[in-house]
DNA sequence: TTAATTGCAAACCCTTTGCTTCATC
DNA sequence: GATGAAGCAAAGGGTTTGCAATTAA
């Protein structure tokens, strides 16, 4: 039986922070913002709540080729553009290809519960920059 | 000026190992395999060469929601299915949607150099398993 | 009241890196 | 022979976790 979950000030704040931005922040950025409201909130609490919120489907975790995760307050599937230079993540307003999941189910012979798609390139601010790999 | 790159036994072996499997192995798995041929090869060498091979486009690095990377000896873009229970990664034989990149370029106002797509679900071996999140 | 959650700090774990020695070109 | 690469081991850095003290329900 799943444990009940309490709505703490910390959890509420973290969710508010995530929903109020479109920069797909890192845990550390959320931490810095949260400290402005609850100065002694701990990074452990940030991670624990990000994990909870992800588990309940209220937020999404993004991990696109970097050593750390970013978080998205919009839990509905949508696609992203990732800048290969500055690492910033942008939302892309493209229709989600749910029909492709059916196709994959046929080929895999098993149920598909979701998919992700990310596009890579240089954002407008990073045009002309040299990037390795 | 870019440094020249030498073909060492270690690098050659690592590339051979990656090309001879379709399990999308972790660095550690490659390490264990490599040790069977070069017993005192080091994990640092594995990582350095995986980085080199990735930079030259000979292999691909996959990082799909886990704390560690997997590697793919096939550098041509293709899609993957990731099992949410056992973490195994399977190739999916679907045509690559290059036309979508053009669409994203229009919307982003900047060049798109590539994209990735991964499907999630339970593989046939993990059917019926409970998974959180 | 009581058990889930916090804050703190130490532990984790995958990956990177500095340095000396080795081996490719 | 010169210098890029290997081996070793320690450091790095984001994330997780154990535990006593809080606090939501």
Same domain? A40 vs A51:
yes
Residue A26 in tokens: 């890192």
User: CATH number of the domain that B62 lies in?
Assistant: 1.10.10.10
Judgement on whether residues B35 and B85 belong to the same structural domain of the protein: no
As a dihedral over the C-alpha atoms of residue B83, residue B88, residue B89, residue B90, rounded to 10 degrees, the angle is -90
The values of phi and psi at residue B27, to 5°, are: -60, -40
The count of domains in chain B is 2
Tokens 């409201």 belong to residue: A37
Q: What is the average pLDDT across B39-58? A: 97
DSSP A25-66: -BHHHHHHHHHTTSTT--HHHHHHHHHHHHHTTSSEEE--SS
Tokens 């046939």: give the residue. B124
Query: For strand D, which nucleotides have at least one atom less than 7 Å from a protein CB?
Result: 3-10, 13-18, 23-25
One domain for residues A52 and A62: yes
Domain with A56, as residue range(s), is: 1-75
* A62 and A82 together in one domain: no
pLDDT-flagged residues of chain A (< 70)? 1-3, 132-133
Whether B61 and B87 map to the same domain: the answer is: no
Query: Does B40 share its domain with B81?
Result: no
Same domain (yes/no): B83, B64: no
Q: What's B113's domain CATH number?
A: 3.30.1490.190
The pLDDT of residue A133 = 52
| Contacts with A84 from chain B: Cβ below 8 Å | 113
For residues A65 and A110, state if they share a domain: no
pLDDT band at B2 (very low <50, low <70, confident <90, very high): low
The string of pLDDT tens digits covering residues B61-71 is 999 888 999 99
Q: Which residues of A touch B (CB under 8 A)?
A: 54-55, 57, 61, 63-65, 81, 84, 90, 92-94, 100-101, 103-105, 107-124, 127, 132-133
Residue B132's pLDDT band (cuts 50, 70, 90): low
């Amino acid at each position: 039986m799943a444990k009940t979950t309490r709505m703490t000030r910390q959890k509420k704040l973290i969710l508010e922070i995530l929903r109020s931005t479109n920069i797909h922040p890192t845990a550390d950025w959320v931490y810095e913002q949260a400290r402005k409201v609850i100065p002694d909130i701990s990074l452990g609490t940030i991670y624990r709540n990000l994990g909870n919120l992800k588990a309940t489907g209220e937020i999404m975790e993004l991990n696109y080729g970097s050593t750390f995760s970013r978080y998205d307050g919009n839990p509905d599937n949508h696609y992203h553009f990732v800048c290969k230079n500055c690492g910033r993540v942008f939302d892309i307003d493209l229709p989600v290809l749910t029909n492709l999941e059916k196709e994959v189910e046929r080929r895999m012979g098993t149920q598909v519960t979701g998919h992700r798609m990310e596009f890579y390139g240089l954002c407008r601010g990073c045009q002309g920059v040299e990037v390795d790999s």
